[in-house]
Amino acid sequence: MPNDAIASPSSLPVPQPRRRVARAILGKKPATVALRGSVILAVLFAGYFGVVGNLMNRVDANPDFAPTEAPEAGSAAVAMAAALIRRETVDHRWSVNDPAFFPTAFHDNMPNFQNGVLRGVSRFVMALESQIGRTRGSSAIDANLGRAVGLLQYPSDVWMFDFRQSMFPVSPSDQQYRAALEALEAYNARVAQGGAVFERRTDTFALTLQAMAAELGARTAEVDEHLRRESFIIDGRTDDIFYFNKGQVYASYLLLREMGRDFEAVISQQGLTGVYDQALDSLRTAASQRPLVVLNAAGDDSIFANHLYLQGFYIKRAILQLDEVSRVLSVSR
């Protein structure tokens, strides 16, 4: 007689095989696996390169940016050059040398903007080294300025590895620029202490303005060359030029604004305050453009905007105003 207290094998629950998580998500059939896998990869790709990359892509063109630390008796313009380098390589992330697997691989507005900022700063430092930072053209080059000029010429896209140079790790671009930052700060500290030259003469100011205006002129020449070509209303080159120009114009605006403080006596004495302020306003307007999409419409024949036309107009107006200032200064020497 069977014992009711003992469970028979037929009455025990049959254990169900555990369904793997991957199989539950992807399915069993090869076609289902392929379809779901493709969708998941597309979502991850869009999230990584689209969402995360977009959050990391930052174009900081704050026109009211000012150095937080500057020696009291030093140069305001040199302090601004150092502050711009610090902001883009320390406070922000230097994105120009991001490798291809970073989320920013498909976002080029920030790298172009940062390259433009670096160009504006490096050209100012070159003019500083050859003009303002020397008593005369035949005098010795300041060691700190010479070092800063050399470091700022380092390629901007070098990451930890650059197989064009070596199979071993190399110094990344942002590390070189931070070394240039230290050289500029050391120079400005010496200026504040009276141990380095910072000539506030009319001729050095005029020559520096001419150099910076000529560099801006080179950007408008590239704009003109690009616009002469027939291209679609949206192309891959227009926004690159736009954001590079934006960065360089932005840096030039801030540096010239601070140079106005360094050479305030010269500007006021020559009655150039009004036209100098107009040049700054033109640069500020050019740097403040923030189109959602950079358009390259066919000029007067299109109902759409051409943002390079507009940007180039304000840059050229600033160049004319800077040329007027430098001409007056040259005559008065």
The whole-number pLDDT of residue 40 equals: 73
Plot region of 65 (φ>0 → left; ψ -120 to 50 → alpha; else → beta): beta
What single-letter amino acid sits at 51? V
In a domain, 259, yes or no: yes
The whole-number pLDDT of residue 2 equals: 54
| CA 259/CA 77 separation, integer angstroms | 5
In a domain, 16, yes or no: no
Domain of 118 in residue numbering reads as: 57-331
Residue 238 exposure: Cα atoms within 13 Å on the Cβ side: 24
In a domain, 100, yes or no: yes
The whole-number pLDDT of residue 77 equals: 97
| Alpha helix (H) residue ranges in the chain | 21-26, 30-45, 53-56, 76-86, 109-127, 143-152, 173-192, 202-228, 238-262, 264-269, 273-287, 307-331
Q: Mean pLDDT in runs of 10 for the chain (333 residues)?
A: 55 55 66 72 70 75 91 93 96 89 81 96 95 77 95 91 70 94 96 93 94 94 82 78 96 98 95 96 95 76 77 95 94 72
What single-letter amino acid sits at 323? D
For residues 95 and 109, is the Cβ–Cβ distance under 8 A? Answer: no
**Domain count within the chain:** 1
In a domain, 305, yes or no: yes
In a domain, 327, yes or no: yes
Instruction: Give SS3 for 306.
Output: strand
In a domain, 32, yes or no: no
In a domain, 123, yes or no: yes
Question: Quick one: angle between helices 202-228 and 238-262, nearest 10?
Answer: 170
Q: Taking CA 91 as the corner, what is the angle to CA 261 and CA 289, rounded to the nearest 5 degrees?
A: 65
pTM: 0.85
Query: C-alpha dihedral over 165, 171, 172, 176, to 10 degrees?
Result: -120
Torsion angles phi and psi, residue 306, rounded to 5: -125, 100
| CA 49/CA 53 separation, integer angstroms | 5
Which contacts (CB < 8 Å, 24+ apart) does range 156-165 have? 156/96, 156/97, 156/114, 156/115, 156/118, 157/96, 157/97, 158/97, 159/97, 159/98, 159/99
In a domain, 91, yes or no: yes
| CA 155/CA 165 separation, integer angstroms | 11
Neighbours of 7 (CB within 10 A): 9
